Amino acid sequence: MTDLPPLKLDLGELSRVDGSARFASGSVIALASVTGPIDVRSGWEKPEEAFLEVNVRPLEGVPGTQAKSIAQTLKSALTPSLLLGRAPRTLIQLTLQALSPSSLPSNFAQPQISLCGKAAMMNAATAAFLDAGSVSMRGIVCACAVGTRNGGLVLDPTEKEETGAFGFLFRGTVSGELVWAEWEGEEGDWEKVAREARTGAEIVRDFIRAQFERAAGLAQEDEVMI
């Protein structure tokens, strides 16, 4: 196993949204924004909870089949972390964009989003929700892609080395609960690979936590200076 590539997180870059985050893992970059709770559209109102709308935007053109499929995947993985019941009859919008297109040949009109790209979008989404602070959360979802290199597992795979990606819901000190998995390897390797992926997701979790603690500390220093 190798370490994750350098991680970077930029918060609050976008205007006219409640929260935003740009997450980078090496050269793989994803951008996320959160708006809401806001008034819900006619026909989407849910009397017991907020309606979560997730949109994945391609670098160019309009969303295709893969973007819509990823949006549904991310929605399913992120929903367990959100307390949507605290904002009934409202709308929460999450918009995601992969800023690093796939380098692999594709038969599709648009570049495909890699497993690393999906994991980066999930991490960006978590950070954007935390940055917004307008949506109650029971935990955070962090993700990591896994690959194979020279017969061993790595947490920084290239697209050609990718074999899977996993997302875990972390709540306090409780060990991460698996909420998303895409695995193309041997069934007998599942537990080992999932364990390594959880380790990677924990690194991402600790990194995001440290970035928010640093941001909070800087904000307090600014208040003192004022």
**Which structure tokens are listed for 35?**
């708006």
CA 57 to chain centre: 14
Residue 219 confidence (pLDDT):
61
Look at residue 135 and tell me if it is in a domain.
Answer: yes
Chain position carrying tokens 């390897």: 185
In terms of residue numbers, what domain contains 25? 7-225
Look at residue 75 and tell me if it is in a domain.
Answer: yes
Residue 65 confidence (pLDDT):
86
**Which structure tokens are listed for 29?**
């970059």
Look at residue 140 and tell me if it is in a domain.
Answer: yes
Residue 220 confidence (pLDDT):
58
Quick check: helix, strand or coil at residue 18?
A: coil
Residue 64 confidence (pLDDT):
82
Per the structure, the count of domains in the chain is 1
CATH of the domain at 157: 3.30.230.70
Look at residue 73 and tell me if it is in a domain.
Answer: yes
Look at residue 116 and tell me if it is in a domain.
Answer: yes
Q: How far apart are the C-alpha atoms of 146 and 155, rounded to whole Å?
A: 5
Ordered mean pLDDT values, 10 residues apiece, the chain (226 residues): 86 96 96 97 90 89 84 97 97 94 58 89 98 97 94 89 95 87 87 94 96 82 46
Look at residue 2 and tell me if it is in a domain.
Answer: no
Look at residue 72 and tell me if it is in a domain.
Answer: yes
Residue 225 confidence (pLDDT):
41
Residues facing residue 30 across a β-bridge: 23, 98
**Which structure tokens are listed for 155?**
């947490």
Look at residue 53 and tell me if it is in a domain.
Answer: yes
Residue 156 confidence (pLDDT):
81
